[in-house]
């Protein structure tokens, strides 16, 4: 269990409204119905269906807007996998990204950072980029039991960001953004016994190959007034339960209203802990539960069965309104 010398709780202002637009995810279904929580994109003019559509890829990106009184703030979490995907969807959805106040990277894997530079080039002025210091670590890869190696491309280069006058904000500790309405968790404590990170992740450290704890994993936390915390994760490599527990710890807020994002429960390495994860999330009693991206079909199906009143199936272009 990691220990941080942080004064808790961190400053977080309760907001009246949260709007989360999914700019990229692994799935797209233009026929999904809306609910009182989510609206789906309509790609047509009058009666004419568009000849283009939003695209999905193995990646994640969400535009998070908060409203408190007369103040409105916009944060971008992650930038998808490819250089084209998020910007294509932004254009088709008619989403305004010019007002983004900061970009937060949940971690440095390519499916969360791949679209960063083209997005930065679209913005009129340099904005803060919030990252964990370990996000700049290179030589990271997956070592499979059969000996196969998949190396992560280096999509986050400090020199490239400096050339664009990006304000790099590196922190292991929680960071408050948007007039204290959004908190970036920073490095997440790992307290549960069943969430053990990514067992096959490796990195090179001082010339030696060692396990990669993916310490740069972090999430967003927003406090919805009178309802509780809204946790927005990228991949939750620290474990989605650990992420929620740490969010409670750093904010001092216990009720959980919504959990959205990647839970990283896909594949044989993680499917054995789906049951433990569901049991722990049940104790948190979220009113809205939206697994995305790396959660995996098996886990999503089981979450849907376990949370019939709160589970929402995500799709690219979905807009979640929490108020």
Q: How far apart are the first and last CA of the chain?
A: 35
pLDDT for position 6? 56
CA distance 184 to 174: 5
CATH code matching the domain that covers 17-44+58-322, chosen among 2.40.10.120, 1.10.10.10, 3.30.1390.20, 3.60.15.10 = 3.60.15.10
For residue range 248-298, what is the model confidence (pLDDT) as tens digits? 999 999 999 999 999 999 999 999 999 999 999 999 999 999 999 999 999
For residue range 176-188, what is the model confidence (pLDDT) as tens digits? 999 999 999 999 9
For residue range 217-247, what is the model confidence (pLDDT) as tens digits? 999 999 999 999 999 999 999 999 999 999 9
In the three-class reduction of DSSP (H, G, I as helix; E, B as strand; rest coil), residue 121 is classed as helix
What does 158-227 look like in DSSP terms, one character per residue?
HHHHHHTT-EEEE-SS-EEETTTTEEE--SPP---SS----TTEEEEETTEEEE---TT---EEEEETTT
Neighbours of 170 (CB within 10 A): 15
Closest CA to 103 of 78, 140, 69, 66: 78
pLDDT for position 144? 94
Domain ranges of the chain: 17-44+58-322
pTM for the predicted model, two decimal places = 0.95
Residue 45's pLDDT band (boundaries 50, 70, 90)? confident
Average pLDDT of the segment spanning 133-150: 95
Check if the beta carbon of residue 189 is closer than 8 Å to that of residue 246. yes
CA distance 148 to 142: 8
Residue 7's pLDDT band (boundaries 50, 70, 90)? low
pLDDT for position 124? 82
Average pLDDT of the segment spanning 36-54: 92
pLDDT for position 47? 87
Backbone dihedral angles phi then psi of residue 58, each to the nearest 5 degrees = -75, 80
């Amino acid at each position: 269990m990691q220990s941080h010398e942080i004064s808790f709780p961190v400053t977080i202002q309760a907001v009246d409204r949260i709007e989360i637009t999914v700019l990229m995810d692994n799935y797209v279904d233009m026929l999904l119905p809306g609910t009182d929580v989510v609206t789906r994109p309509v790609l047509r003019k009058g009666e004419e269906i568009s000849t283009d559509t939003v695209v999905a890829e193995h990646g994640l990106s969400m535009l998070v807007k908060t409203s408190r009184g007369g103040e409105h703030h916009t944060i971008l979490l992650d930038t998808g996998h490819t250089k084209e995907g998020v910007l294509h969807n932004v254009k088709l959805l008619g989403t305004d990204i010019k007002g983004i106040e900061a970009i937060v990277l949940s971690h440095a894997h390519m499916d969360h950072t791949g679209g960063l530079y083209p997005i930065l080039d679209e913005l009129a002025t340099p904005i803060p980029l919030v990252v964990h210091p370990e996000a700049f670590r290179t030589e990271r890869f997956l070592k499979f039991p059969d000996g196969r190696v998949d190396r992560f491309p280096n999509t986050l280069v400090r020199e490239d960001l400096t050339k664009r006058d990006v304000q790099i904000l590196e922190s292991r500790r929680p960071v408050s953004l948007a007039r204290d309405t959004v908190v970036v968790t920073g490095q997440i404590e790992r307290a549960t016994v069943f969430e053990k990170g990514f067992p096959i992740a490796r990195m090179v450290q001082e010339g030696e190959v060692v396990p990669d704890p993916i310490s740069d994993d972090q999430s967003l936390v927003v406090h919805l007034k009178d309802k509780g915390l809204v946790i927005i994760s990228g991949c939750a490599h620290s474990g989605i339960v650990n992420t929620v527990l740490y969010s409670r710890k750093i904010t001092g807020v216990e009720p959980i209203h919504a959990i959205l994002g990647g839970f990283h429960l896909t594949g044989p390495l993680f499917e054995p802990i789906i049951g433990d994860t569901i049991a722990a999330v049940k104790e948190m009693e979220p009113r809205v539960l939206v697994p995305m991206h790396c959660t995996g079909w098996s886990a999503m199906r089981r979450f849907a069965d376990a949370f019939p009143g709160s589970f929402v199936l995500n799709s690219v272009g979905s807009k979640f309104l929490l108020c």
